[in-house]
Amino acid sequence: MPRIPQVKVSEFVTASEKYVKEQLSRADVGKDGRLSQVDSARLPKDLQDNLTNFKSAKEIRGAVSAKSFSEAFVKYVAAVAKRADRDGDGYLTAKESKGLPKDLRDNYWNYYRATQAKGIDTADLAQVTQAGRAALADHVKNVLFNTAEPEGQSFRDECLDGRTTGERATKVKAEMLAEAAQWAPGGIGAEAWEKYEGNDWQRQGEVTYAGRFWGLYTEVRFKPNQRPEVYVEID
């Protein structure tokens, strides 16, 4: 089951700054630093709504300074993305993205699709490591400790039984997130994550790393053109 998408807030802000500058430069055909109505129509749709709201807030009726809009847009993205990151972990999940203003939700999803929805190059260990850590952390937050998620019910029943609410919400979760942040393919002995490659037509191109996560048998599966999946067995 594919995990919930998420993006790193700092990277989203940096990419947004680069994106808006590039698109404004392309739209400003006259290269005068101002966007006319005709120039504005050349912007991607996910920036047109931001420009419309910017002009409305500033009560601008005619052409707008490209620099002023660019600077305001970047500040806007940084401020609202930080507020939307409700748990303060530096990432915006799909659920948290609903807290973004309507004119930034399309920017969020376009950024996600452009940077993460293409799958992982399983030959690149750096990519695998980063994606695997993110997938494990996402599984901990959005499945194992999410009472609305049935998939994590057996974990909550078997592994958290007898623990206080405080222990569940802080100690255990913190331990698991810390372990997720250190995950890496390979390893030696008890820390080893063995690699299995799909060799039949149904699993062609699929790579799975199997090992122990918080003492539980766990698989991190990489499928072509998809984000990694996590399976945790309660034994």
CA–CA–CA angle 94, 53, 7 (5° rounding): 20
Please state, as a whole number, how many other Cβ atoms lie within 10 Å of the Cβ of residue 62.
Answer: 9
pLDDT band at 202 (very low <50, low <70, confident <90, very high): very low
Q: Rounded CA gap, 67 and 62, in Å? A: 15
Region at 36 (left for phi over 0; alpha for psi -120 to 50; beta for the rest): beta
| More confident position, 232 or 204 | 232
Range scoring the smallest mean pLDDT among 108-112, 180-184, 196-200: 196-200
Q: Where are the alpha helices (DSSP H) in the chain?
A: 9-27, 37-40, 45-58, 66-84, 94-97, 102-115, 125-139, 153-159, 165-166, 173-181
197 Ramachandran zone, left/alpha/beta (phi>0; psi -120 to 50): beta
Digit-coded pLDDT (tens) for 90-146: 999 888 999 999 999 999 988 887 777 556 677 788 888 988 999 999 999 888 988
Residue 229: beta bridge partners? Answer: 221
Q: What is the pLDDT of residue 51?
A: 97
- Cα–Cα distance, 94 to 153 (Å, whole number): 21
